[in-house]
Structure 1
């Protein structure tokens, strides 16, 4: 079934590498573990949002917009990549960040400032309300703003991960690798929606498991299913059925979003020390921690192959130094 893809602005370094994690696989004594390196997409240390921004920025430019506005947590990787995309394309950028101003400009906050983004803080207000105010300010100054949702997770953003699945299936075929499971961090739903739709379109028959970092499983499943269905309609493949492919595990929510526990600490140190690869404390550290635990109790076993989709985020590590080191 042919999809009608919208225009994109080339921003990412694609295809991203596909690597086998030999030492981690041996250490855990379970399945063969592979990694899809979307931490190497570019845009100020990379991440999965760079793929999404190719379509979002192209849409903004097509509409004649000159200023990007988006929102996220203080250490949002999506916000940092949006700021980098705006700088690269000569656009203005405003970031609406949750909570109160931070006393130290570390991690992604530092990069946001270096990239020239304007920072706004929500305090106890609704982020959508603050974003609307920022957009009105930009219009009053003669600009034409383009608002990007949390995580870039709309049909434009999800479209990028439909194509990412195509990219992966081509890599697997070329290397004669069979993958039984794909595991990754899932939050705003755009990456997972694109992957499950892409799996249907491009014939990937393995299971796709999102490790939730902040939402109950049922809530996130509904969110992903709705977005995948909308994306299918957007691409002209609306008859595709994906509901039974949306799998979410919410066993690793811990104390909540961005709250670092032994799960994240162990995973970050293990992958760093065995493979020389950096994970982040909020998304990939939690998802890898979940994968490690699932392997230990036998959900994935010898003879199987698991692909961990690295969605980036290592730029946030310096902001969590007190949580990561004894």
Structure 2
């Protein structure tokens, strides 16, 4: 067992620490909680023909887990958790006995993932090549200053970290072409030993482990907050909202919480949970490129991959019912900041001083506020048998604020 009470075999999987020694903090968003609950109550009252029952809606306590404060490395965010489990594989001798000399990864032009890979490369004393796809998403298409978009924000940070940036034109990334393998082969021909990390680290077989571990971290923080009397209601986070990009963040959370509950049941200390509806992890999609069923299947696949590694029965313990994706807030394109998302970002900044990002957390905040203010959370809770005066909602802030500079004209 670790200090997070992670059971075997999960606790035995090698990890290279990239996070702070303490958990990323969780703190309340009190003003947002009040305004969102008031909006839900107003809607309930308006919907009631007699104008009665204005207080039927439960109090929604909104909290934020600051993954953007989780690591001392550049532009802290959710990818460092994934990379903690990938770094031991990077450092392991390759099949030919040689060691890795260069990390290669890819992303959209303002990719957060590429920054964190470049930062890890710098820390490990390795070189890095970052492939940025001009055709991915709508950020570049919608900007009024393409030159600024391609050279500021995350692109600027990646270069500061010493990575080589290669911009790929849309035709180089077409479905019938693989731009990556020729680049890897070119590096090999020049004497390098490259290590490929796919976009978001989600297609990497270790990509889901970081957020499986995060589930145990959240559970420990729930206990601490509850003991201090600050986490009301159920004493846990009943709903967790997180962005859905490449998919392994939410997949890891699903697998981790499954293992957590299974472990508690085996230990016989889950009595207090029996009367509560199942905790819900709701992931807000950030891209309309693929339909929701495609991403649901992807999330299940990633969760099962992680689940099998950490001690779950992947087929029996994880199913499509565990995946709740919401595609109503994707906007017109990935990476394109729509007016509704901008309004959500502005609102959260002005009431609780929280800065989100234009690609992921902005859409997630917009979705979370809709769930609360439309009464959707209260209805979902009631339908599933819940009856509480207060509900606790956790927003996982995955970082990405460094991209804001590239969106200055929007």
- Whole-angstrom CA distance in 1 between matches of 2:394 and 2:222: 11
Q: Alpha-carbon deviation of 1:279?
A: 0.3
Three-state SS of the structure 2 residue aligned to 1:31 is strand
Q: Alpha-carbon deviation of 1:238?
A: 3.0
Q: Contact (CA 8 Å) 2:237, 2:279: kept in 1 or not?
A: yes
- Whole-angstrom CA distance in 1 between matches of 2:188 and 2:8: 39
Matched, 1:297 2:305: no
Three-state SS of the structure 2 residue aligned to 1:285 is helix
Q: Contact (CA 8 Å) 2:256, 2:307: kept in 1 or not?
A: no
- Whole-angstrom CA distance in 1 between matches of 2:85 and 2:397: 20
For normalisation by structure 1, the TM-score amounts to: 0.94
For normalisation by structure 2, the TM-score amounts to: 0.75
Match of 1:190 among 248, 254, 272: 248
Question: Which stretches of structure 1, 4 residues or more, deviate above 6 A after TM superposition?
Answer: none
- Whole-angstrom CA distance in 2 between matches of 1:313 and 1:141: 34
- Whole-angstrom CA distance in 1 between matches of 2:118 and 2:65: 24
For 1:158-237, list aligned pairs within 5 A: 158-176=208-226, 177-203=235-261, 205-214=278-287, 215-237=290-312
Q: Contact (CA 8 Å) 2:259, 2:311: kept in 1 or not?
A: no
In structure 1, the residue matched to 2:78 is: 48
In structure 1, the residue matched to 2:318 is: 242
Match of 1:274 among 346, 351, 366: 351
- Whole-angstrom CA distance in 2 between matches of 1:200 and 1:174: 21
Q: Alpha-carbon deviation of 1:249?
A: 0.5
Three-state SS of the structure 2 residue aligned to 1:57 is helix
Q: Alpha-carbon deviation of 1:180?
A: 1.0
Q: Alpha-carbon deviation of 1:140?
A: 1.5
Match of 1:11 among 9, 15, 18: 18
- Whole-angstrom CA distance in 2 between matches of 1:111 and 1:229: 34
In structure 1, the residue matched to 2:386 is: none
Q: Which runs of 5+ in 2 are unaligned?
A: 1-6, 38-58, 94-98, 141-145, 227-234, 262-272, 379-388
For 1:115-194, list aligned pairs within 5 A: 115-123=161-169, 124-126=171-173, 129-153=178-202, 154-176=204-226, 177-194=235-252
- Whole-angstrom CA distance in 2 between matches of 1:155 and 1:15: 24
Q: Deviations over 1:197-220 (max 9, x none)?
A: 001111294101100111432111
- Whole-angstrom CA distance in 2 between matches of 1:180 and 1:290: 16
Count of residue pairs the alignment pairs up: 323
Q: Deviations over 1:145-175 (max 9, x none)?
A: 1100110113312101100001110110122
In structure 1, the residue matched to 2:336 is: 259
Matched, 1:83 2:91: no
When Rg is computed on C-alpha atoms for both structures, the one with the higher figure is 2
- Whole-angstrom CA distance in 2 between matches of 1:174 and 1:125: 50
Three-state SS of the structure 2 residue aligned to 1:281 is coil
Q: Alpha-carbon deviation of 1:24?
A: 1.0
Cα RMSD (Å)? 1.8
Q: Which runs of 5+ in 1 are unaligned?
A: none
Q: Alpha-carbon deviation of 1:15?
A: 0.8
In structure 1, the residue matched to 2:394 is: 307
Q: Deviations over 1:91-138 (max 9, x none)?
A: 110111112796221100000110011111221222872221221122
Q: Contact (CA 8 Å) 2:357, 2:400: kept in 1 or not?
A: yes
Q: Contact (CA 8 Å) 2:255, 2:303: kept in 1 or not?
A: yes
Matched, 1:284 2:314: no
- Whole-angstrom CA distance in 2 between matches of 1:231 and 1:54: 14
- Whole-angstrom CA distance in 2 between matches of 1:66 and 1:168: 35
